[in-house]
Structure 1
């Protein structure tokens, strides 16, 4: 009965796999084709907002409290609006949360720490180069490229980590599947009713042949569960997510810090950078909540089936890992090329 049920699920799993694979390949093709347009539009939008920030910062030289508050509020709005555009941070958050069981509290902590780390990296980078090495604006921009490339490579590494942990978890889950072995050890006739047969196992033989597993019921924990094994992996992936997003310093924050240093208002640039990080955290946290809510809605209307769910989870994580690897490498190449990298 069990084998019939399992075999009946395999065709649907195969169809689902090919549907997801075709959808993933189509998305990668569209992303590759539209990448130059998306990149140019993002650069134009960012340039316009940066000009507004620069003009507001110049007006703040008068030390007028209203002008300073306007600049601070504009920096906060910049963090919200800038993070709405194309960016690898949103791809990392949505892809990971959509394919991994993560609690709302954990997802919010991840997004807030990642956004604040991004602001802290920008402030630390500019402060060290300006105050420690008297670097010029050109040198600061050149050094920031290394951090940006590092964040994209970390993104690709996260994709590899997701693929590796998904395959490892799937193999471990298959090994933990209970094997039911039915055997008759001894047939004994009951004295009260000789015509009836009672099936009694030999206790000594049962004790000697007892195998410890998660279903043996002896009260001992003989090996770690899948959740226990994944706990350490998830912690590493959380750190990778924070570094993958935070290692890329915000270009708007770097620009504000450089101009504020020239104008003698560096402290205002630091405040502005942190507020950009807060605005970014709000946007990414909202996207994370929407992702988790959408996943829960899908799970409500989806028919529960442990075997089917396990294969869907495996395929989804594999595709998510491939997506992060592809976009991470694509973004790292776009640091040099303004068009699709494979055209060069």
Structure 2
């Protein structure tokens, strides 16, 4: 059993690192694509201001593409969603819905922040960007680390219950056919994503608005095409949600394969708890890496 868990942990650690680390080539490609789409977005905004009929479709399409490639590059949304998918028994559809809600909430928060800041507070674009990068980004990374800590704590508690002497004796008495403890039950290892957990996931991603969305909204405000700018940012959020949804489905599938491969019911429960502990630890680590980079 221990060898199985050790092998599983190593395999999951490798999978987690591949999820949490962007290769330099992919990151560079994402940055280049974002710049290209930013230029298209800026041109579409100017064309829309002059009344070009095809400009709105170009703006929305480029914004959706920008959101997708932005999510491919370094960022926290896909890591948090992927970590939750690996660490909890949340259904894939529910995690996809949460990823969509988080991306749209991030877009709406950017609209409120920029338009509200200009209209109510009369702040400058530089002040809005500084607020997003200097204050909201660290707050988002701390929220991510907190979510990871909760996942890790749940996994550790489930493992502790599984290896407790009382449970070991009870399991050994109840299952004479195998003579060893089966650990926590599947129901104990399964942590359903409730309302509070869902809200924490959404807020952890949404609290920091995308800099590309701020860039778009500032230009749209100055050109007085604010409705089109808001629509483009929502479309940008949908593009981001496409990538995070792919990560969500992949992480849930990886978790199911890893847990199912352990065989017996007791092994499944212990593997699920180990997964939750590992995924939570990876999320905490990644959150603090991002926090350190934002404060450097």
TM score, norm. by length of structure 1: 0.71
Q: 275-284 or 229-238, which moves further after superposition?
A: 229-238
Q: Residue in 2 aligned with 1:167?
A: 156
User: Does structure 1 residue 110 correspond to structure 2 residue 79?
Assistant: no
Contact 2:158 2:188 in 1 (8 A): no
Return the offset for 1:288: 1.6
Q: Distance in 1 between matches of 2:213 and 2:8?
A: 44
Q: Residue in 2 aligned with 1:281?
A: 241
Q: Residue in 2 aligned with 1:86?
A: 74
- How many residue pairs end up in the alignment? 281
Q: 148-157 or 171-180, which moves further after superposition?
A: 171-180
Kindly report which structure 2 residues correspond to 1:133-172, keeping only aligned pairs within 5 A, or say none: 133-145=121-133, 146-172=135-161
- Which of the pair is proportionally richer in helix? 2
Unaligned 5+ residue runs, structure 2? 175-184
Give the 3 Å change call, closer, same or farther, for CA 322–57 of structure 1 in structure 2: same
Q: What SS does structure 1 have at the residue aligned with 2:74?
A: coil
Q: What SS does structure 2 have at the residue aligned with 1:248?
A: coil
Q: What SS does structure 1 have at the residue aligned with 2:209?
A: coil
Q: Distance in 2 between matches of 1:233 and 1:295?
A: 15
Q: Distance in 2 between matches of 1:41 and 1:60?
A: 28
Unaligned 5+ residue runs, structure 1? 1-8, 183-224, 338-344
Once the two structures are superposed, residues 89-130 of structure 1 have per-residue CA deviations (whole angstroms, 9 ceiling, x without a partner) of 111111211221111331122111111111011011112211
Specify which of 46, 58, 70 is matched with residue 58 of structure 2: 70
Q: What SS does structure 2 have at the residue aligned with 1:335?
A: helix
Contact 1:114 1:243 in 2 (8 A): yes
Give the 3 Å change call, closer, same or farther, for CA 38–334 of structure 1 in structure 2: farther
Once the two structures are superposed, residues 224-274 of structure 1 have per-residue CA deviations (whole angstroms, 9 ceiling, x without a partner) of x98489767754332221111111211111111000111111111111111
Contact 2:98 2:202 in 1 (8 A): yes
Q: What SS does structure 1 have at the residue aligned with 2:281?
A: helix
CA RMSD of aligned residues (A): 3.2
Once the two structures are superposed, residues 282-332 of structure 1 have per-residue CA deviations (whole angstroms, 9 ceiling, x without a partner) of 2222222233334444555x2522332233223322221221111111112
Contact 1:169 1:226 in 2 (8 A): no
Q: Tell me which structure has the larger Cα radius of gyration.
A: 1
Q: Distance in 2 between matches of 1:105 and 1:24?
A: 22
